[in-house]
Amino acid sequence: MKNILLITIFISLIFSCKNDQNNNGNLNVVTTTTLITDLVTQIGGDKLNIQGLMGTGVDPHLYKASEGDVSKLVSADLIFYGGLHLEGKLVEVFEKMQSQNLQTIAVSDALDPKTLIGSEYFASNYDPHIWFDVHNWELITAFVVEKLSEADPGNTAVFEENGKNYLEQLGALDAEIRATIETLPKEKRILVTAHDAFNYFGKAYGFEVVGLQGLSTATEAGVQDVQNLASFIIKKNIKAIFVESSVPRRTIEALQAAVNSKNHHVEIGGTLFSDALGTRGTPEGTYIGMFKHNVNTIVKALQ
Ligand SMILES: [Zn+2]
């Protein structure tokens, strides 16, 4: 399968002719996750032809490129992806493209490696869930403005204006979520979720964070992991645990069942968006709406 994909890339590269698909003069930009699609849309607006590969509820750790994706990728002027091996199964495809001089940009390159959280679970040695600190997303916003301006200098003023407006909204978001979290007593700030997507959130906003499946959904939680975490929940008297929209619900239900079998009760506090946004057109379909939803859900359930 892998070979077929690489052959497809090669053939597509030979026959691709950039800008053939969309001849409105706009740059063709391909993005991977819904989070990155949203960000590039906020900044590029109607000046770009943006195609997002992954939809709502799609898990980037497990996502494999289809042949349709490959043809979108080879006809792109710019490709934005998460980086740090977030898109574990696309790494090889991106590396192949880089060697063909296609413009692939990892948004994680916006951040100083010293500020990243280390992880032995990823080949990058870093936790790739960088978007859960609004400050990181601010740095990435400025980085995307810069990269789009380099690729399309004629629209620099538009990208800069949109970027400036978006940074203001992100500043307001950060202040709002901090105020919401302030209403939750410090000892209740423990977040248990299906996989370890919230370490940057925990570090930035003062939560202890535990994920059942580890950092990537590519590893399944074992029976012992479930039992250990159930004991932790009971010991810390945690009221609620959380489902994630891009991870099957059964992982958290198994944990709830393990807690309840020990004569304790833990609620499922709601669904958080971790590696994918909500449905397009709803508030949770944007980064800002998603973040507010998550914080409101967490704070309400843990009170
Ligand atoms: Zn993840």
Element (H, E) at 27: strand 27-31
What pLDDT is attached to residue 268?
97
Element (H, E) at 241: strand 240-244
Q: How far is the CA of 36 from the centre of ligand 1 (A)?
A: 14
For Cα atoms 133, 54, 1, give the angle at the middle one, nearest 5 degrees.
125
Q: Strand 104-106 to strand 48-52: parallel, antiparallel, or no bridges (unpaired)?
A: unpaired
CB atoms within 10 A of CB 190: 19
Q: How far is CA 68 from the centre of its chain?
A: 22
Close Cβ partners of 101 (under 8 Å, ≥ 6 residues apart): none
Domains annotated for the chain, with CATH where assigned, are: 2-175 (3.40.50.1980), 179-302 (3.40.50.1980)
As a whole number of Å, the end-to-end CA separation of the chain is: 49
What are the residues facing 31 on neighbouring strands?
52, 80
Q: Is the dihedral of CA 286, 287, 289, 290 positive or negative?
A: positive
Q: Alpha-carbon dihedral of residues 289, 274, 302, 282, nearest 10 degrees? A: 30
Q: How far is the CA of 67 from the centre of ligand 1 (A)?
A: 24
Give CA–CA dist 206/136, Å, rounded: 16
Element (H, E) at 30: strand 27-31
Mean pLDDT by 10 residues, the chain (303 residues): 59 51 82 98 96 94 92 93 94 83 92 94 88 98 98 97 98 98 97 93 97 72 87 96 91 94 95 95 97 98 97
Element (H, E) at 52: strand 48-52
Q: How far is the CA of 21 from the centre of ligand 1 (A)?
A: 32
Give CA–CA dist 144/149, Å, rounded: 8
What pLDDT is attached to residue 128?
95
Q: In Å, how far are 130, 145, 159, 170 from 196, measured between CA atoms?
A: 12, 29, 33, 24
Judge contact between 163 and 43, C-beta under 8 A.
Answer: yes
Q: How far is the CA of 187 from the centre of ligand 1 (A)?
A: 26
Q: How far is the CA of 218 from the centre of ligand 1 (A)?
A: 9
Judge contact between 277 and 170, C-beta under 8 A.
Answer: no
What pLDDT is attached to residue 21?
45
Place of tokens 């994630």: 244
Q: How far is the CA of 28 from the centre of ligand 1 (A)?
A: 27
Give the pair of three-digit tokens for residue 262. Answer: 């020990």
